Amino acid sequence: MRNLSKFAFVGAVGLVGIGAWALPAAADTLGVQFTGTPNSTSNNAGNDGTAYGYNLMDINTTITVTGLGEFVDGSLSNISASGGQMPIPAGGSTPAGDWVYVGSGTVPSSSNSFGSSALFSVEITAADASLAGTYWAFTSITPEVLTAGSYWIAVVYGDGNTSVFSTSAVTSEAGISLLGGATCSESSACSGTTGETFGPNFETDPPTTPLPATLPLFAGGLGLLGFFGRRKKQKASAAIAAA
């Protein structure tokens, strides 16, 4: 009987270990990802290079955005090294890199209004960005919650002659519908509004998932350990009373 109890105790510890092992931390999810190897367009259009690109989307659930990024075709060197196109902040100097903005409703007609119209934004530089999903450069942000509604996301290139973007087919995270987008030149002439023109992207917390099938094993193992603990205390009390 004693050997049987020991065997059951070891089994309970094993159940706890199996249940805990099957509960890994989930990684953040890319809001948009290519369905295959994307094409890549690098702009060198002189004084009328690509100034910015944007995309429209409908969200029918609540998501938490944890990072913003842009398409760089797998190389951080495709991020602008200067910010000559950027509006100079009051009392500041010309910023470097590219900027990604997220706003609600209708996208502004000019990139000069992105900053004042956006819900949140982040600067993307080669020094602080990291590659994700092979083709994207991302910078983490303080988590921002977006509820169901219509939104726009845009990237403004610090140097329009170093911008790189893709028009390849993409898929979006569950609960998000893509409505097309555009790239716009420095003269604000836009093209691609009926297609899927992508430069900006975002990361979100992983969606809530059902409890794993191993959770009952974890709970069962804890229950057995508790049972053996109480039984051990009862035996100790009985031995003291009999002494």
Q: What is the rounded distance in angstroms from the CA atom of residue 97 to the CA atom of residue 115?
A: 15
Q: What is the rounded distance in angstroms from the CA atom of residue 9 to the CA atom of residue 7?
A: 5
Three-state secondary structure call for residue 168: coil
- Which residue ranges make up each domain of the chain? 40-204
State the angle between helix axes of 2-21 and 215-242 in degrees (0 to 180), rounded to the nearest 10: 150
What six digits make up the tokens of 2?
A: 């004693």
Nearest to 124, CA basis, from 112, 140, 146, 103: 140
Residue 115: the pLDDT is 87
Neighbour count for residue 137 (Cβ, 10 Å): 27
Please list the rounded mean pLDDT of every run of 10 residues in the chain (243 residues). Answer: 47 46 60 89 61 90 94 90 57 69 92 90 90 92 96 86 80 89 76 71 69 50 51 57 56
Nearest to 51, CA basis, from 21, 78, 83: 83
Count of helix runs (H) and strand runs (E) in the chain: 3, 15
Q: What is the rounded distance in angstroms from the CA atom of residue 122 to the CA atom of residue 100?
A: 6
Residue 29: the pLDDT is 86
Q: What is the rounded distance in angstroms from the CA atom of residue 178 to the CA atom of residue 170?
A: 9
pTM: 0.71
Residue 97: the pLDDT is 83
Q: Give CA angle at 188 (89, 131), nearest 5°.
A: 65
Q: What is the rounded distance in angstroms from the CA atom of residue 99 to the CA atom of residue 43?
A: 17
Residue 242: the pLDDT is 57
Neighbour count for residue 41 (Cβ, 10 Å): 16
